[in-house]
Amino acid sequence: MAAGRLQGGQIQVSMEGKNGPWQLVFTLGREKEGQWSEINLSNLPGPYKAFRYVSPNRGYGNVAELEFYNGSQKLTGTVFADGGGSWNGLQDRTAEKAFDGNVSTFYDANNANGAFVGLELTGCNTSTNRLAAEVESAEPVWALRVAPNPSAGRMMAQVEMPRAGRLTFTLSNVLGQTVTQLSQEGIVGPNAVSLDFSTYPSGIYLLRVQTEGQKSLVQKLFKRTD
């Protein structure tokens, strides 16, 4: 996600493992989008058994890639994360994506606040005389979130925008018939709109979000009968 979601994020370390206790060793500033940021963690008291990135509020754990080093040796271990899982259970946004070596993928948590992703080391504890961390933010992307889904027809849609512009929300049924349409000026960051189609029949609906630049996001919505 956009680098703005890294600002205020924390690098924390633990001498005992993934369950803590945790020590804050670095707080991120506004890192450049799509670029590595190297963090020197030398002269810490260690040794450490686990490292984690804790995202700021409204950060959804978004980070493209994390790497931890002892000198030139890249540290390996078991990936762990907060208990909320990836957004809507999407397999292309799991915690492992933050350690897969692919900067075009990223971790996207269900939890907006308090999300974290980390690495519990395997083998011997790391020494700390040449310890470093590298963090990469993802390139800015458009993201659509709708919750709760399924629902009785009242949902909140949120669109994450890296650039400002007009947004059009179109809700249609499976026959392609428009149920409702809303437009608003979008700002950089999260943009929310309330959807109410509770008077319509239960079933599957499609929400399409269109921008002035013709960028289109689509999500399937499920209306149930309470």
Which strands make up the sheet holding 154-161, listed edge to edge? 143-147, 154-161, 189-196
How far apart, in whole angstroms, are the C-alpha atoms of residue 33 and residue 219? 26
In the three-class reduction of DSSP (H, G, I as helix; E, B as strand; rest coil), residue 81 is classed as strand
Q: Given this structure, which CATH class describes domain 143-223?
A: mainly beta
Which residue ranges make up each domain of the chain?
Answer: 3-136, 143-223
Confidence of residue 129 (pLDDT cuts 50, 70, 90): very low
Q: Which residue has the higher pLDDT, 31 or 120?
A: 120
In the three-class reduction of DSSP (H, G, I as helix; E, B as strand; rest coil), residue 206 is classed as strand
Q: Is 97 exposed, middle or buried (0-12, 13-18, 19+ CB in 10 A)?
A: buried
Q: For 73-119, how does the pLDDT look when each residue is reduced to its tens digit (9 = 90+)?
A: 888 899 999 988 988 788 888 999 999 888 778 888 888 888 999 99
pTM higher than 0.75 = no
